[in-house]
Amino acid sequence: MKISSSITIKASISDVFDVFTDLNKTPERVSEIKSLEVLEGPEKLAVGTKWKETRKVFGKEETETMWVSELKKNESYTVDAESHGSKYRSVITFKEVDGGTEVTWTFTGTPQTFGAKVMSIMFIFFAGATKKLVDKDLEDLKKACES
């Protein structure tokens, strides 16, 4: 499964990148995140930063451990996770556009186990709902950047 979504934010690329990479304030900025605990590394994202995040997904709370595998300041960062037999990757890119910053979030889920591969057929039906979750996070972060 691969989902991509973009949003334009009326703020400088450095300000937008700072908001998106500040784990300390993420729970107050992203409405679906209920709690976040940094496990390794700084609260300001860096390669190797690892955290546990609890969020509301499809009506129930889920907790996942995530980590930053790549980061290029003011350009992009990559967050990886493994859960339920699948690998998940979010690549968030930042591009300067006229009057602001375009942020693109690409989410990929790749099944690794036989069970996850069988269940991946069902993920086709969840693609739309997953895109709505990504869109909501982007909207919440846009509000934080523009306020």
% the chain with pLDDT above 70: 86
**Phi, psi of 94, rounded to the nearest 5 degrees:** -125, 130
pTM over 0.85, yes/no: yes
The radius of gyration of the chain from alpha carbons, rounded to an integer in Å, stands at 15
| Residues found in the chain | 147
Cα(18)–Cα(27) distance, integer angstroms: 15
Q: How confident is the model at residue 107 (pLDDT cuts 50, 70, 90)?
A: very high
Give all domains of the chain, ordered by start, each with its CATH number: 2-146 (3.30.530.20)
